[in-house]
Chain A
Amino acid sequence: MNRLPVRQLSWGALGLAVLFILPRFLPEIRIHLMTEIFIFALFAVSFNLMFGYAGQLPFGLAALFGVGAYGTALVFNHFPGIPLLAALLIAALSGAVAAAFIGFFCVRLSGPYFSLSTLAFQMFLYAVALKWRSVTNGDDGMGVVRPDLHLPALGSISMRSIHNMYYLTLIVVTIGILACYLFLKTPLGNSVVTVREKEIRASFLGYNVFLIKLLAFSASGVLAGLAGGLFVLYEEFVATTSLDMNMAMTPVLMTVIGGSGHFLGPVLGAVFYLMLQDWISSLTSYWMLLMGGMFIVVVLYFQGGLISLLKLDWIWRLRNRGNR
């Protein structure tokens, strides 16, 4: 490993400090928006782990988001009194297990086959969530009561207030994104990029390509499942919308518009997407169309995405796209 990246760490710490103080100056409705942004930033980062770093486009990643969301809701409803953090752990684990299962079938495919077979699994889960009413309550969805958080040192923290939910989300998402960043720094993380660059050469060199892809997809599943779990906690509700086509589209739009060639591109994309949604959707119903149009423009003419406008490369030297 390299020596400590002091500059990156200090920028990160500064950013976190700002995010910690921010709720004091914001009205409650903005705090709701910020919380949602954190959750989707994590989801988009997990998407970009597969898309930007492993070079595979998992259209159906929302399957894992949905599994995490439904997993959390089911755990809360069937085991009342379960600690909040344990439920989040279950969300992450169920995301990983579902990813390992789906990945087992899909990862051996590449290109469009991989993309669409993950989407097929997502639509399959959507159908299950819709039809299996006795468990999922179908279209009507399930309500969840957000329990209090019990910490050994601090005692019990009420999660009724959105402020506390904001801080919990911020901390969990920061840990998730940091874990993803560190994962990419490990030899395993490097081999994910190696496989993207030249799969045949990697397998000649003795890498188990199938396993590496499966592990990358599972790692992505951990984060997506965690995002799903947080989303249920935040909304206190889960429905088939967490598994539908729009949910599949969301991380794709965020990541591509934000810029898939940079570790923080998806985060910026999530911020931009949700703020624009918040701002425009109150004015017009055309906002999804606007987002779609912007997406097409980025795909055709502007593949760096928004983050390439900011020239932030010197902060995080983790360029994953090379000079393509």
Chain B
Amino acid sequence: MGERLRETVTGKGMLMGFPIEIYAIQMLHGLVYGMLLFLVASGLTLVFGMMGVLNLAHAAFYMVGAYFAYTITRYTGSFWWSLLICPLIVGALGILIERFLLRKTYKGGHLGQLLLTFGLFFIMGELIRLIWGTAPLSVPAPQILAGDVSVSGMTYPIYRLFILGFSLLVLLGMSLVLTRTRIGIIIRAAVSDPDMVGALGTNVPIVFMGVFGGGAALAAVAGVIATPFLTTYLGMGDAALLDCFVVIVVGGFGSLFGAFIASLMIGELQSFGILWIPRLALIFQFLLMAVVLIIRPTGLFGEKE
């Protein structure tokens, strides 16, 4: 990839063998992927912070969202319908899973939850394989967002800018809900001390069910907007699961702000890793995780283990 970029862009300034424009573009790429990752990881982090449940099936919600986006876009002919409908379906799925399966395991401790959510992750992957097959699928970006923009000699796909803008919008909405509304205050309180919130008269299980569904819907949103720029394929769940886990470890368990910073770090690391050392790009994030695990096992912004 690096070689190709070197040929297509002819800039004046060079840095470590690459024109400076490349750095701007790679940084944008990293930002786009980081934001996408944060959309997936935020639900996971909130759920983990509230109930201590590490939901491995969460990455499957992202994958289910992407596959539904393919089908809905094909039938309705509009990407926007899938962006509207997918999160609703997947959110409902999340609520059902929490209510009827996951809730049974809270008393039993971590092992049961891990096993159950791992099993669900596996089953959802299998269902997708049976329904949609193994071939990678792709959805074209909507007409308005196709094409490139060029700013002072650099071209950049509009669709990626849309992802960036849209996920920033979601992030803004989420932070407004969490900091400015009553339900947001309850959620944040429940993250820091669920028992106390329950004792004060809030129905914590219902709040949790809502947060679980909301997290699933956010993952589905990420899946939908990812489809036109990453292809939809069976391994995307595995990749997302691992990336999300690295995000949670690096950012700190249960810390939303930490997840945000870590998502951007992983996005940039992957983006520049591919630029400099394409063959070892995958190793950087694991190195980062290993270093964080050794120096600060609770993560950069985590407080409780």
Contacts and interface: CB of A to CB of B under 8 A. Distances in A.
Interface of A: 51, 55, 57, 59, 105, 108-109, 111-113, 115-117, 119-121, 123-124, 127, 131, 245, 249, 252, 256, 285-286, 288-289, 292-293, 295-296, 299-300, 303
Contacts of B127: 289
B130 A286 contact: yes
B104 A115 contact: no
B17 to A, nearest CB: 22
B116 A289 contact: no
B286 A124 contact: yes
A109 B116 CA distance: 20
Interface stretch (B31-39, B117-125, B184-192, B214-222): B117-125
Contact of A120 (B104, B120, B245): B245
Given A116-B245, A127-B282, A131-B282, A293 B110 contact: no
B120 A289 contact: no
A252 B118 contact: yes
DSSP majority for the A interface? helix
Given A292-B122, A296-B101, A105 B293 contact: yes
B282 A57 contact: no
A111 B305 CA distance: 10
A122 to B, nearest CB: 10
Contacts of B116: 296, 299-300
B112 A109 contact: no
Contacts of B104: 300
Interface in B241-292: 242, 245-246, 249, 253, 279, 282-283, 286, 289-290
A293 B246 contact: no
B16 interface: no
Given A108-B297, A112-B54, A296-B101, A289 B130 contact: yes
B97 to A, nearest CB: 11
A113 B126 contact: no
Interface centre among B111, B130, B297 (most CB of A within 10 A): B111
B101 A300 contact: yes
Nearest to A56: B111
Interface string B91-126: 000000000010011000011111110111011001
A57 B130 CA distance: 29
A292 B119 contact: yes
Contacts of B112: 299, 303
Given A105-B290, A256-B115, A296-B116, A112 B110 contact: yes
A299 B108 CA distance: 10
Contacts of B253: 113
B15 interface: no
Nearest to A297: B119
B293 A109 contact: yes
8 contacts: A57-B110, A120-B246, A289-B127, A292-B122, A295-B122, A296-B101, A296-B120, A299-B119
B115 A299 contact: yes
B247 to A, nearest CB: 12
B151 interface: no
A84 B290 CA distance: 36
A134 B56 CA distance: 34
